[in-house]
Amino acid sequence: MVISVKLKNENQIEVAVSTTCAEITKKISSGLAKEALAAEINGKVVDITTTVNADCSLNVITFNDEAGKKVLRHTASHVLAQAIKKLYPKVKLAIGPAIENGFYYDVDSDLPFSSDDLGKMETEMKGIIKQNLALERFELPREEALKLVEQLNEPYKAALIKELPDNEPITFYRQGDFIDLCAGPHLPNTGMIKAIKLTSCTGAYWGGDSKNKMLQRIYGTAFTKQSELNAYLTAVEEAKKRDHRKIGKELDLFSIDEYIGQGLILWHPKLSVVREEIEFYWRKEHRRRGYEYIYTPHIGQSNLWETSGHLDHFAEGMYPPMKMAAKDEEENTNYYVKPMSCPFHVRMYKTRPRSYRELPIRWCELGSVYRFEKSGTLHGMLRVRGFTQDDAHIVCTEDQFVNEVNSVLDFALDMNKAFGYDKLNVYLSVRDPQDNEKYLANEPVWQLAESTLEKILSDREIVFKKDIGGAKFYGPAIDLKAVDAMGREWQGTTIQLDMNLPERFGMTYIGSDGKEHTPIMLHRTLLGSMERFVGTLIEHYAGAFPLWLAPVQVKILAISEKNHEYANKVLKILRNEDIRVEIDDRSEKIGYKIREAQLGKVPYMLILGDKEQNENVVAVRNRKNGETIVMSIEEFRSLISGEIFYKR
């Protein structure tokens, strides 16, 4: 059964309910819950998202919810398909799901679509929306469903039906004279889509397999208000300006050389300075908080990864093994480049017996790891195959566990703030109960682990969301996602409880009772991978790094050749204070030099002419506001040193 519910200040949206919910359906349809987010069920007022009993569950979603946006955009993809079929009847339809911030539809067409074609499709879509066509759901037996799609001449739909399990219902949606295979749900009618935009067209293999035919993928987005669409398109344009790949090229920060390999970053000198500053700060703070640095190899024998479980649970993300020639029986084995450092840390722990008096042990490493990400997922510095992770492992007793998690949370908040991320969205990553095969089987430990992490967040009054299915195969996690200047989330800090390695590797410590015990192990990163973190910083600051991170902190601009000697004097004074300073003594006009330094995102410019030289002062131009203030060299040195110290 499908009903529609009108909520206060919200548009109407489709709601699927069980047929056993007839009485609730009747009450809601009669208007009881039309003006509030609550309903009277069994004589009790409850939130209408509440599960009443095993046979009756009512779930209402609005356009403010992610699920609501998905329904809206999924419906828009059907409108796109209808428009395409009207304009180009010979086109064959494949799939058209909703995705983050929009939707797409894959189609098989002999005609390569241009931007003009997208414009025609968009115009046709708006016409369909104005018709306010109802979306009607119907179900067919398998043979009748296949017969229908064959009559519609849709071979890709037939292939999809044949892949469905025998016991799965085969559903279609009709809007006007257009019919599409789909599980739904959808909006009640097309008129509820108030704003749409087709954004691009790319290629995509059918089924994501390069052995199959290349289809055309048409992307678009949809909103309930034109103002929301306008704001989104503005944000997209701003994101293009901030794209770290574009800025990286403009500022000569990094490169990716296909001759070397996809997903492998070359850090150019300027960005290497940024990384150096981050690592220096990272090391200093870890020392201060009781961590010890360690170093581990880049490769390990197959038995290491067999014991850890990575070859069982993570093999698809690992590079193929390096088979050693059997010249020496001792080396007749396989080696793998490491996808993570955890097993090395565990083996180091096991080099000798450990006492409870040593715990907690906090070991950290800036370890380079390698994961074979699919080429289609690679994205500049944000998704790579080789990266350096700010890894750490904490081994502790059960009594120390909660304190250690809280200490990591404090550390994470402080470190993110230092880099300008004042807002963090917090997630509790737990298992997906529908996919138990993905996780290690130990129900009591899972329940205890998930509930303990949830209690830690609740006790600190930290607002969080549950990420169902976000847990790793070896345990749940607390994830902190940094929100950048554009409101986008970036995965950074993660605190993962490992219920796998201590048992697999037989980690123990001697307790105060003189007996062996299995310790608690935490995986922890604060920044994530250095590549992704710096890539997000580039976009967060649009390349204009704060002073303490800027590759060049000061640019000295000599107005004429007569001022070169004085410029070099100032240069020497600042360099003696470890300030990153460069001099521009080219015979160019000063306006040109200022513009180049501004485009280079240099925080401070010192403009030196005859007046400054004669008075032994500097004219300081600030990148942020473009103002120029005259001060002594010592005043400027003190100003900039203070800003660097306080990480501004």
**Residues of each annotated binding site for Zn(2+):** 342, 393, 523
With tokens 């131009």, the residue in question is: 621
Strands (E), 443-559: 464-468, 477-483, 489-498, 509-510, 516-517, 520-529, 554-558
Distances (CA, A) of 238 to 247, 359, 420, 485, 626: 13, 48, 19, 11, 22
Contact 593, 557 (CB under 8 A): yes
Cα separation, 600 vs 102, whole angstroms: 35
**Taking the CB of residue 142, how many other CB atoms lie within 10 A of it?**
14
Q: Where are the alpha helices (DSSP H) in 333-486?
A: 342-349, 398-418, 443-459
Candidates 149, 94, 473, 428; CA nearest to 308 is: 473
Side-chain-side CA neighbours of 212 within 13 Å: the count stands at 13
Q: Which amino acid is at 68?
A: G
Contact 171, 137 (CB under 8 A): yes
Q: Which residues contact 639 (CB under 8 A, 6 or more apart)?
A: 620, 631
Report the helix count and the strand count for the chain, using DSSP H and E: 19, 34
With tokens 């920044």, the residue in question is: 527
Cα separation, 567 vs 619, whole angstroms: 12
Cα separation, 71 vs 15, whole angstroms: 10
Cα separation, 222 vs 197, whole angstroms: 7
**Taking the CB of residue 476, how many other CB atoms lie within 10 A of it?**
25
* DSSP secondary structure string for all residues of 180-220: EE------SBGGG--EEEEEEEEEEEGGG-TTSPEEEEEEE
Contact 294, 286 (CB under 8 A): no
Binding-site residues from annotation: 342, 393, 523
Cα separation, 364 vs 392, whole angstroms: 4
Burial status of residue 49 (CB atoms within 10 A of its CB: 0-12, 13-18, 19 or more):
middle
Burial status of residue 528 (CB atoms within 10 A of its CB: 0-12, 13-18, 19 or more):
buried
Cα separation, 287 vs 291, whole angstroms: 5
Candidates 203, 196, 228; CA nearest to 79 is: 196
Candidates 17, 18, 39; CA nearest to 27 is: 39
Q: Which residues contact 634 (CB under 8 A, 6 or more apart)?
A: none
